[in-house]
Amino acid sequence: MKGEYKVPGGKLVVVHADEVDGHLVNVAVSGDFFLEPDEALDALTSAIEGLPVTADAGEIARRVRTALPDDVVMLGFHPEAVATAVRRAIAHARSFTEYDWEYLAPTPMTAAEHMALDQVLAEELGEGRRGPTLRIWEWAEPAIIIGSFQSLLNEVDSEEAVARGIGVHRRISGGGTMFIEPGNTITYSIYAPGELLRGMSFADSYAFLDDWVLQALQSIGIAAEYKPLNDIASPEGKIGGAAQKRLGNGAVLHHVTMAYDIDADAMMRVLRIGREKLSDKGVASAGKRVDPIKSQSGLSREEVIDVMVSTFRSLYGLREGSITEAETHRMRELVETKYSSDEWLRRVP
């Protein structure tokens, strides 16, 4: 068995092991991490050797931590990362590079079309009619996107949104509200099989699926890091947030919206929850909490997207793809029957 886990913003941990009578044997731990003293690797490996395959990640991490010498130095990884790699080995999880990833380049769409297409592509992957896919969005209109379980009344000042010509829509994933301005927002979706995430916690899967983005942002001078549960941030402030939806057919939809630039005043006027969060912290401007990529990189939005796509391609491979006629037809159907309906928008008043 082999399990790999790349620590977000850190190093790769690889665990090889055999299973005999329900226990782990012939364990080998490797990776590009740093570990001192050298003898600590033997202690780490011995902590895993003989563990039952039913051991959970918490138990594995505790065993590793207890076995390590007091003077041990672990750089780029930690006991929890080792535990995740072990659980991924036991679960026979696959890695990014084992898939043939397809890229869907930005195509201008309305907010309702984007919501519908996310559902369609995830469903198609789960049914085996589409392979793992990366899609970069292009927004054709300003929008407010609320999470599947959010209250419309609590989150949005609807009168202000109407006055500004900003439509409000609900997506199928949970999480918080997205304030969208065409040209100022970078959004992407990953449609992946659940087997890619085997052996890791729901929380860990967020950072795992976005590690390539951290590397892309870091390559253009942004000190990006992941803030649990689902925020991408830098020392200057929050950059964006992620959300997920796991379908019953095994597909995982993971999407992220990041601020390239932002009209903080407009956001504060249309989002109620933003006012509460900021007043709570004694912060007068939303710019203190959401810091655009533009100000930190000096690059155009298109250049940032090019770096993101190039980074994904260099790490995992990526071929050009397209949306099928059947997917387009189903998307339009869902726009009419679901994502433009008042019933869906107000399912949580």
286 has pLDDT over 50: no
The Cα–Cα gap between 208 and 193 comes to 14
Give the number of other Cβ atoms within 10 Å of residue 152's Cβ.
Answer: 16
Residues 6+ apart with CB under 8 A from 120: 327, 330, 331, 334
9 falls in which pLDDT band (50, 70, 90)?
A: confident
Percent pLDDT > 70 in the chain is 95
239, with CB counted inside 10 A (0-12, 13-18, 19+), is: buried
6 has pLDDT over 60: yes
Q: What is the pLDDT of residues 120-148, one digit of tens each?
A: 999 999 999 999 999 999 999 999 999 99
Residues 6+ apart with CB under 8 A from 336: none
**What residue ranges define each of the domains in the chain, with the CATH number in brackets?**
2-90 (3.30.390.50), 96-345 (3.30.930.10)
Q: pLDDT at position 274, please?
A: 54
40, with CB counted inside 10 A (0-12, 13-18, 19+), is: middle
| Cβ proximity of 290 and 259 under 8 Å | yes
Q: pLDDT at position 276, please?
A: 54
Tokens 């959010």 — which residue?
150
Q: pLDDT at position 92, please?
A: 96
Q: What is the pLDDT of residues 331-341, one digit of tens each?
A: 999 999 999 99
84 has pLDDT over 50: yes
Q: Residue 294 corresponds to which tokens in the numbers above?
A: 């533009």
293 has pLDDT over 90: yes
| The pairing of beta strand 167-170 with beta strand 143-146 | parallel
Of the candidates 23, 193, 4, the one whose C-alpha atom is nearest the C-alpha of residue 82 is 4
pTM for this prediction: 0.92
Residues 6+ apart with CB under 8 A from 222: 234, 239, 293, 296, 297
65 has pLDDT over 90: yes
291 falls in which pLDDT band (50, 70, 90)?
A: confident
Q: pLDDT at position 282, please?
A: 39
| φ, ψ of residue 49 in degrees (nearest 5) | -55, 130
Q: pLDDT at position 112, please?
A: 98
Question: What is the mean pLDDT of the segment spanning 215-236?
Answer: 94
278 has pLDDT over 90: no
The Cα–Cα gap between 270 and 272 comes to 6
Residues 6+ apart with CB under 8 A from 38: none
Buried b (16+ CB within 10 A) or exposed e, 277-302: ebeeeeeeebbebbbbbbebbebebe
Percent pLDDT > 90 in the chain is 90
Q: pLDDT at position 265, please?
A: 87
Q: Residue 305 corresponds to which tokens in the numbers above?
A: 């997207």
| 232 three-state secondary structure | strand
24 has pLDDT over 80: yes
The Cα–Cα gap between 249 and 129 comes to 12
8 has pLDDT over 60: yes
Q: What is the overall mean pLDDT for the chain?
A: 94
